Structure 1
Amino acid sequence: MKLPYAEPYRIKMVEPIFPSTQEQRSEWIKSAGYNLFNLRSEQVFVDLLTDSGTGAMSDLQWAALMRGDESYAGSRSFHELKDTVERITGFAHLLPTHQGRAAENVLFSVLVKEGDRVPGNSHFDTTKGHIEFRKATAVDCTVDQAFDTSSPHPFKGNLSLEKLRKEFTSTPKEQIPFCLITITCNTSGGQPVSLENIRQVSALCKEFSIPLFFDAARFAENAYFIQQREEGQKERSIKEICREMFSYGDGMTMSSKKDGLVNIGGFIALRDKALYDKASTLVIVYEGFVTYGGMSGRDMAALAVGLDEATEHGYLHSRISQVEYLGERLLKSGVPLQNPIGGHAVFIDALKFLPHVPREQFPAQTLALELYREAGIRGVEIGAILADRDPLTRENRYPQTEFVRLAIPRRTYTNNHMDYVAQAVENVFARRDEITKGYRIIEEAPIMRHFTVQLSPV
């Protein structure tokens, strides 16, 4: 008989979490303005709000923390990180930042100006926010299959070459500072981009002399999907695939809180020394000296170890198998999900789950709140609230998909927790026809409103 799968690690430390009653949760979420971001962590039983900075570090990472060099300039930990990044990505020039959105802030401050258009595959919230804050436009060139949650397309993060060529030919070159590939594509459901698509996008960018950058927060998970799903890649190592992926681009931003396996940090990695020099000035202004940026030496040391661990098959197989475990159980129960299951999260299709809740009453947010009340599980809306308002008309934007994302922290929860989550979702699904009304906004910020929005039941 074939042996069952077992995680390639054992638990050395635990953190207690505490259940609560539905009555308590109903009061807590009301006090939080029906915004799950406003809850205290102790009011949450299973926290699937994000996989960003919420994972568990390894013993080798904790050991590296103790060896961190906190020198203001020329830190040994910086050079260890720089060498690791160059070995995995091929990019020789490194600028640490305190997290991914800081990396975007620095790079976009150099490259993006008012009136620009930045094509890519479903830019995520901070990326789009940084673009629109500069009065530029994020142009979604994702393949159409990404918006059909029932489609089995294995690489729903792919860019449409037809859409991209149309953008390149209809917009003056000086108004396209770069093309951006997000790996994996969070907004489309944690979906990967194929190596072939990256090659093709790179060739198209070269044809039009437009730089190509990566939002690489989950690059290792993307490489794993390439290895598992793309023809001719099965026998290659994750690190080999990563090196080839990045060989087609000019640079990357990274939120190290995802596939860096650390709790804080980010970086910019570049091929061009002239661009590095320009960005260095802004890193010094916004973050810190170029050999620490926004990070401590100990965190850079842990990140160097984490990047190596995250690009090994054993870790990635364990991590993505747990996400698939939750997704497959929900699919068997008839719960509508984005298919195939993504790399870091299960994305529930709220439009199919709650068809009676009008779009203007935010069905994904409504479902996320029901799930919290049901079992103390905190997910996040990836829908109209996150999509924000059109910067010109100030009308709500309604994306083609409305998701509740259940993001699984790395090396943190067991499959018993996944069973608990699945049963809670199934309980809500069983009474879905009773949920006919959603929420209205009573207070919101002018940009990236989902973090602080205040809501009221309709």
Structure 2
Amino acid sequence: MDHAYLPEPWRIKAVEPMSRPAPATLHASLRKAGFNTCLLHSRDVYIDLFTDSGTNAMSAAQWAAMMVGDEAYAGATSFYRFHDTIRGYYGYEHIIPVHQGRAAENIISQCLVWPGSNLPGNMYFPSTRIHQELNGGTFHDAIIDEGHDPSSAHPFKGNFDIGKLRDLIKRLGAATIPYVCVGATVNMAGGQPISMANLAAVRELANEHGIMVVLDAARAIENAWFIKTREEEWRDRSIAEILLAMCDLTDAATMSAKKDSFANIGGWLGVRSAELAEQARSKVLLYEGLHTYGGMAGRDMEAIAQGIEESVQEDSIRARVEQVAYLGNRLIAADVPVVMPIGGHAVYLDAAATLSHVPREEFPAQTLAAAIYERSGVRGVERGAISAGRHPETGANRMPKLELVRFAIPRRVYTRSHMDFVADSIIDVHRSRHRILRGLRFVHEPKHLRFFQARFEPMQGSELFADE
């Protein structure tokens, strides 16, 4: 018998109570948070789709593994299980633990990026780019044009435009490029994957010029699923085999284990070069802790090792991607503009299309995220001009082509009925979008990663929605 939507491949063994805040609470909480969903108290959020990072439900096996964590300061047994598991599934010879993904970005940027260097990539990610810029580098986008088009149905919108990449190398000079940074999947493009064929082409071009390739592997399992389901020659290969083949095309990887590995904290830097590994370990000693724990407890490393083994199970990744698609398809059926095709970890609303009457300078994505929270208690996050920040030299607001609101779905946390509530809430705001007359302006703007701590106020009055 065929089923349109298979049940989740797990049973619920423990529950966390949740309740929907009253409308007055939502109204007051949004204003106390300066119209920034990042600053809301979690107790005032009903369904939290702010991020899928560190918010996943761990399995019974992961909780059990934590109980045998070796908390020795140096050379803990848990580190060696962590190390060997990562090496087995991802293939990198040297594994350096860190407390989370952005720490790995910091370490590799300090090791490889210098003032005046250039970093091509398939669309930026805020924390990656800021670490590159703080070390004197400049990011250059080389993603295909479809990656910037919310309505394009291209199956691999995370692909590099090889012509653009080749031209960048020629124009900037290979000697100025320490590495090509590969997102898989590409978060800021809507969770869009890169194909194996395209990654191989990037590898070949980089080899021609002696340039390293560094993978952001946080959601590489999801990328492997899309390769399996969309790239014919990989259809009969396992997720574990595809993951390893992807990593084999790169020299190093940064990893936030808070994503694919189902962990609440932790990450790692994987490299092939012994020289780079030694340099990275010296940085970890300064910023993270000893090179055999890197800011994590032994129990965290045990949970990650077990989570990696669970992450490549095909029932698990299928259910994860299908849950995201279910939410996305409900919105599509209601004519809500979303990034197409639906990505692997989140549904992204096209705020520029929904609030087309709100000028980009009034931040329609930030406005839409705030409006959806105020009406429903559902928390998403802006992924547009606020996240893009300001140009480091001119100080002008960067205005990316994509002005999005992301609803990232934690793994193994919410059920289909939760997704129905989210869909109904977004559809309700979309249908009353004409009542949102103006956007938001800054009242407090931090220098770096401003979307986390910025505060706003409405451009007109004190309310987002005008009276009928």
TM range (shorter): over 0.9
Measure, in 1, the Cα distance between the counterparts of 2:429 and 2:38: 21
Name segments (4+ residues, structure 1) moved above 3 Å. Answer: 1-4
For residues 40-439 of structure 1, what are the structure 2 equivalents within 5 Å? 40-439=41-440
Post-superposition shift, 1:74?
1.3
Residue of structure 1 equivalent to 2:2:
2
Measure, in 2, the Cα distance between the counterparts of 1:322 and 1:386: 26
Measure, in 2, the Cα distance between the counterparts of 1:218 and 1:123: 15
Measure, in 2, the Cα distance between the counterparts of 1:265 and 1:30: 33
Measure, in 2, the Cα distance between the counterparts of 1:297 and 1:432: 49
Measure, in 1, the Cα distance between the counterparts of 2:21 and 2:89: 44
Return the letter of the residue paired with 1:434: R
Report the number of matched residues: 458
Identify which range, 88-97 or 20-29, moves more after superposition.
20-29
Return the letter of the residue paired with 1:80: R
- Cα offsets for 1:28-64 (capped at 9, x unmatched): 1111111111111000000000000001001110010
Return the letter of the residue paired with 2:350: D
Identify which range, 70-79 or 204-213, moves more after superposition.
70-79
Measure, in 1, the Cα distance between the counterparts of 2:47 and 2:356: 26
Measure, in 1, the Cα distance between the counterparts of 2:103 and 2:135: 15
Measure, in 2, the Cα distance between the counterparts of 1:172 and 1:163: 14
Measure, in 2, the Cα distance between the counterparts of 1:381 and 1:42: 20
Answer whether contact 1:356 1:435 (CA < 8 A) is retained. no
SS in 2 for 1:269: strand
Q: Is 1:446 aligned to 2:444, yes or no?
A: no
Measure, in 1, the Cα distance between the counterparts of 2:294 and 2:448: 26
SS in 2 for 1:80: helix
Measure, in 2, the Cα distance between the counterparts of 1:322 and 1:306: 19
SS in 2 for 1:52: coil
- When the two chains are superposed, the root-mean-square deviation of aligned CA atoms in Å is 0.9
Measure, in 2, the Cα distance between the counterparts of 1:117 and 1:267: 24
What is the TM-score when the length of structure 2 is the normalising length?
0.97
- Cα offsets for 1:168-195 (capped at 9, x unmatched): 1111223211001011100000000100
Return the letter of the residue paired with 1:29: L
Post-superposition shift, 1:436?
2.0
Return the letter of the residue paired with 1:118: L
Measure, in 1, the Cα distance between the counterparts of 2:76 and 2:201: 39
SS in 2 for 1:198: helix
**Identity percentage over the alignment?**
46
For residues 8-47 of structure 1, what are the structure 2 equivalents within 5 Å? 8-47=9-48
Task: Give the unaligned 5+ runs of structure 1.
Answer: none
Answer whether contact 2:113 2:136 (CA < 8 A) is retained. no
Measure, in 1, the Cα distance between the counterparts of 2:204 and 2:52: 32
Return the letter of the residue paired with 1:2: D
Measure, in 1, the Cα distance between the counterparts of 2:2 and 2:407: 31
Measure, in 2, the Cα distance between the counterparts of 1:211 and 1:39: 40
- Cα offsets for 1:95-144 (capped at 9, x unmatched): 00000011111111011111111111112110011111223211111110
Measure, in 1, the Cα distance between the counterparts of 2:40 and 2:233: 46
Post-superposition shift, 1:301?
0.6
Measure, in 2, the Cα distance between the counterparts of 1:173 and 1:237: 36
Measure, in 2, the Cα distance between the counterparts of 1:436 and 1:159: 38
Measure, in 1, the Cα distance between the counterparts of 2:23 and 2:355: 21
What is the TM-score when the length of structure 1 is the normalising length?
0.99
Return the letter of the residue paired with 1:448: L
Return the letter of the residue paired with 2:407: L
